[in-house]
Amino acid sequence: MSQTDAAQKLAYALRFGDTALVLSHRLSEWCGKGPALEEDMALANTALDLLGQARHWLTYAGELEAQGRDEDALAYHRNDREFFNLLLVEQPNGNYADSMVRQFYFDAWHALALRRLLASNDAQMAAIAEKALKEVSYHLRRSSDLVVRLGDGSERSHAMMQAAADALWAYTGEMFMGDAVDADAAAQGYGFDPASLRAPWLDYVREVFDEATLTLPNPDAWMHQGGKQGRHGEALSYLLGEMQVLQRSYPGAQW
């Protein structure tokens, strides 16, 4: 493997790891403040699953990098320009409808992406994907179910879900936009072309929204991008500032 190949594969692994880590962080902000005790616990389970996945990805990224950085070094000692998570998952929680729609958009993509990674020629990536997919299949079932129920619920819940669906829509396009890292992943056979997930994702989201009596936003609308390349919104730096405070304040300490 040439040096650029290795760097691209590393970036690819970090995208999955950072995305899982940042979303897990957002979900954990709800802990103790959910709309019902049962829901509080269910969401914490999803947060724990994603955190576990992030640890697998970051540990593997550290191995690919071969600079002796472990999961914590990568999670706590990179700044926002070095994080490659999707913009969608760094969006602040908003109200619970916002958080559920964000989860649904993401889960629908995540399940498709992991399924593609099962065929990765990188055994480690395929193994992480296989384990994660079991968890994510449940996440998707749960978030789809909640979208249907709340969309087709009360007038108020319908309105809140529609507003969230519209507001977050512009952050979904990035999941399907490829760049040199994606092209390399597809060409080398360890990853896939993200554009190929767009049609099945749209089909699925449309189907769930139909059942939820929600209106699908315009698929051809303007979409934000940049997260995968390390250009984020303003929120991520705050998120990392909070997450990393102890590691940064006490360099070299063991916890």
Query: How many whole angstroms separate alpha carbon 204 and alpha carbon 58?
Result: 29
Select 81 or 156, whichever has its Cβ closest to other proteins: 156
- Interface residues for other proteins in 165-224 (CB under 8 A)? none
11: helix, strand or coil:
helix
Considering only 1, 5, 35, 77, the residue that binds other proteins (CB under 8 A) is 35
The 3-state DSSP class for residue 7 equals: helix
253 binds other proteins (CB under 8 A): yes
Angle between helices 123-151 and 37-65 (to 10 degrees): 160
Answer yes or no: are the C-beta atoms of 216 and 225 closer than 8 Å: no
Say if CB 185 and CB 9 are below 8 A apart: yes
Q: Does 36 bind other proteins (CB under 8 A)?
A: yes
Four-point Cα dihedral 60, 9, 193, 170, nearest 10:
80
68 counts as binding other proteins under rule CB under 8 A: no
The binder of other proteins chosen from 124, 137, 237, 247 (CB under 8 A): 247
Does position 23 interact with other proteins (CB under 8 A)? The reply is no
Among 7, 29, 131, 216, binds other proteins (CB under 8 A): 29
Rounded CA gap, 189 and 126, in Å?
A: 11
Residues 6+ apart with CB under 8 A from 205: 104, 105, 108, 216
Residue 84 token pair: 């490659």
**Span 101-140, contacts to other proteins by CB under 8 A:** none
65 binds other proteins (CB under 8 A): no
Give the nearer residue to other proteins in terms of CB position, either 130 or 152.
152
Q: SS3 for 118?
A: coil
Report the distance separating Cα 19 and Cα 104, nearest Å.
14
**Which segment (102-110, 157-165, 187-195, 196-204) binds other proteins by CB under 8 A?**
157-165
Total of chain residues touching other proteins, rule CB under 8 A = 54
Q: Is 58 a residue that touches other proteins (CB under 8 A)?
A: yes
Which one of 3-11, 151-159, 177-185, 193-201 is the stretch in contact with other proteins (CB under 8 A)? 151-159
Positions in the binding site for other proteins (CB under 8 A):
21, 25, 28-29, 31-42, 44-45, 47-48, 51-52, 54-55, 58, 71-72, 75-76, 95-97, 142, 145, 148-150, 152-154, 156-158, 160, 242-243, 245-247, 250, 252-255
